[in-house]
Chains A and B, each alone.
Chain A
Amino acid sequence: MSCIETIQAYALRSIGIGERLLPRSDFTLCEQFTLIGSGLIWNIYFGAVALFFGFFLATGVAVARNARSRWIRKPAEWFVFLFRGSPLFIQFFLFYEAFVLLPKVGIDINLGFVEITAETRWLTRAWLGAVIVLFLNTSAYAGEIFHGALRAVPRGEVEAADAYGLTGWRKFRRIIWPTMLRLAWPAYTNEAIFLFHATTLVFFSGFPAWQQKGDALYYAGYFADKTFNPFIPYPILAGYFILLTLAIIAVFGLINRRLNRHLPQEQRRRIRLRLQVIR
């Protein structure tokens, strides 16, 4: 097979399109690049979906953690403690086992024009179950970041908002929330990178790879097991992830520029990368 044919056969293998059988012997570099790259689709899917929904929950958690009523504050604090204090790996296992034990019934959701049957067995599949775990996890981490930023919002800005007669939701939406985001953004960028790295844990922690549709690390591990040579697939994976990391930094940097566009040039906060590892 030429390299073009390999790409045609395997580029979308991880989502079930193309050749069904994985290559079994005489692995070419092209095959390894294509399949590991194909697995990256899953990593991007997990990361993007969890990050998107997590953003909103994280904002909610941060606000709840700042609430005056302890009935709102305490649950948020417990949520953050639970997900930040335990390994993501254990969370994956725990949720997977819990999802497996759920009764296997479908729930009909009536959307008015069309009826969808949501089945609980979807929860045991990575595309939904793992996303839920990652979503909760990133909400807790980002909630903590946003909480810190919320407390750092300058007093003067809030007082100015009061002076303009802004209250409640409008004050939050127009004054506090943008400043909170601006202050939290460098740390939130790290969290995003960290989350994309954490997506590699999914298929190593309970969630089975259905019909060998796995993520980038799953395929890298597959090649390393078959060839007993870790020196080719893992560096390929590393290369892909470095590219992914750079892409995240670029996208978040653009948003950072927009968030800071009203500030004088030298006051703008540059995104500084700090260490991030497994959660």
Chain B
Amino acid sequence: MFSFCSDPASLEGTKWLACYLTTGKHMAFYASFGTVMVLLLITAPVALLFGFGGAVAARSPFLPLRWFGKSYTAVVRGVPDIAFFLFFVIALDQAFEYIRHKLKCPDWELPVRQGNDFVVCPEAKLPLSSSPQWVHETYGFFIAVLTFAIVFGAFAANVLHGAMRAVPRAQIETAEAYGMTRRQSFWRILVPQMWLYALPGLSNLWMILIKATPLLFLLGVEDIVYWARELGGAKTSAYAYPHPDWRLWYFLALLVFYLGLTRISEILLGRLSARLSHGRATLGSERQGRTA
């Protein structure tokens, strides 16, 4: 990075640190903070979409669909989600490969599960064994996003289902009195109004999502936890920048990063909630008036 970094062994003090913190590996470490933010920004809307689907399914008049929606939310609540993370990463991967296997190699005779192995034809492999490294990484990231979206979608479904039920019944009745169909009253009355009721639950969910991002490490993505372990471990003089075990400091940095992220989110969500409940005759806005 800097011109004086060409010979690390001769450096001292601050200069050494400046060079140490700008090595290629450290740049990858800083970039992985970006990975976390990208994951958050992609996952949140996708999970919200899943949640919306789940909530709509849970209140559907069609019985099997209602069962599906209800069990989707119920199962995730009873089980530690880390189990879901570990489960879906393999399960989704195998499901995709199995579907591709059925489509691409219809005349493959051997069974897919042979004892302890899962064997599909080479053309069905995901990603193809010949594809470059970045395809593998993107695929891993994609699976991680999908896993997060499925798990957090269940929680969002729970929140949105509650929010839909919290919209005053009179609003829907008025819509019916105006001759709106079920669909119209859903999209024009219920959906615009439910967000206020959903906001506390959703902001809670956002905080939880932030705090779940280190689990990316378990899903095999090279995220901040991976790099903190990698870079912090003791380096002998075989490396350009030898140092003892510094993992404690790296994890402290991650802690500060997460504390900052949750604090900023808290402030922003507080403002959003104040704005949304402005001028509404709800307990929230009343309370606001009282404290202000």
Q: Which residues of A contact B (CB under 8 A)?
A: 25, 81-82, 84-91, 93-94, 97-98, 100-101, 197-198, 200-201, 204, 217, 220-221, 224, 226-231, 234, 237-238, 241-242, 245, 273, 275-279
**Are A93 and B116 touching (Cβ within 8 A)?**
no
State which of B87, B116, B152, B213 has its C-beta within 8 Å of the C-beta of A230: B87
Measured between beta carbons, the chain B residues less than 8 angstroms from A224 are 86-87, 90
Cα distance A90–B226 in the bound complex, in angstroms: 12
Q: How far is the CB of A235 from chain B (nearest CB, A)?
A: 8
Cα distance A101–B211 in the bound complex, in angstroms: 26
> Which parts of B133-163 form the interface with A (CB within 8 Å)?
151-152, 155, 158-159
> Which parts of B224-266 form the interface with A (CB within 8 Å)?
225, 228-229, 232, 245, 247-248, 251-252, 254-255, 258-259, 262-263
- Secondary structure of the A side of the interface? helix
**Are A89 and B248 touching (Cβ within 8 A)?**
no
State which of A25, A97, A201 has its C-beta within 8 Å of the C-beta of B247: A97
Measured between beta carbons, the chain A residues less than 8 angstroms from B205 are 275, 277
State which of A25, A101, A234 has its C-beta within 8 Å of the C-beta of B87: A234
Q: How many residues of B contact A (CB 8 A)?
A: 49
- Given the contacts A275-B205, A276-B77, A277-B212, A90 and B258 also touching, CB distance less than 8 Å: yes
Instruction: Flag whether B192 is at the interface (Cβ < 8 A).
Output: no
Cα distance A23–B276 in the bound complex, in angstroms: 57
**Are B159 and A275 touching (Cβ within 8 A)?**
yes
Instruction: Flag whether B214 is at the interface (Cβ < 8 A).
Output: yes
Candidate in A220, A237, A277, A279 with the most chain B CB atoms within 10 angstroms: A277
Instruction: Flag whether B41 is at the interface (Cβ < 8 A).
Output: no
Cα distance A201–B211 in the bound complex, in angstroms: 13
**Are A98 and B259 touching (Cβ within 8 A)?**
no
Q: Which residues of B contact A (CB under 8 A)?
A: 75, 77-83, 86-87, 90-91, 94, 113, 116-118, 151-152, 155, 158-159, 201, 204-205, 208, 210-215, 217-218, 225, 228-229, 232, 245, 247-248, 251-252, 254-255, 258-259, 262-263
Measured between beta carbons, the chain B residues less than 8 angstroms from A227 are 116
**Are B90 and A278 touching (Cβ within 8 A)?**
no
Across the interface, name the chain B residue whose C-beta is closest to A198: B80
Measured between beta carbons, the chain A residues less than 8 angstroms from B80 are 197-198, 200, 217, 241
- Given the contacts A228-B116, A278-B215, A241 and B259 also touching, CB distance less than 8 Å: no
State which of B82, B201, B210, B245 has its C-beta within 8 Å of the C-beta of A204: B82
Q: How far is the CB of A249 from chain B (nearest CB, A)?
A: 10
Measured between beta carbons, the chain A residues less than 8 angstroms from B229 are 93
Cα distance A137–B151 in the bound complex, in angstroms: 23
Q: How far is the CB of B204 from chain A (nearest CB, A)?
A: 8
- 20 examples of A-B residue contacts, CB within 8 angstroms: A81-B263, A86-B211, A86-B255, A93-B247, A97-B245, A98-B248, A200-B82, A204-B218, A217-B82, A217-B83, A226-B116, A227-B116, A228-B117, A237-B79, A241-B80, A275-B77, A275-B159, A276-B77, A277-B81, A278-B208
Across the interface, name the chain B residue whose C-beta is closest to A190: B77
Candidate in A204, A227, A230 with the most chain B CB atoms within 10 angstroms: A230
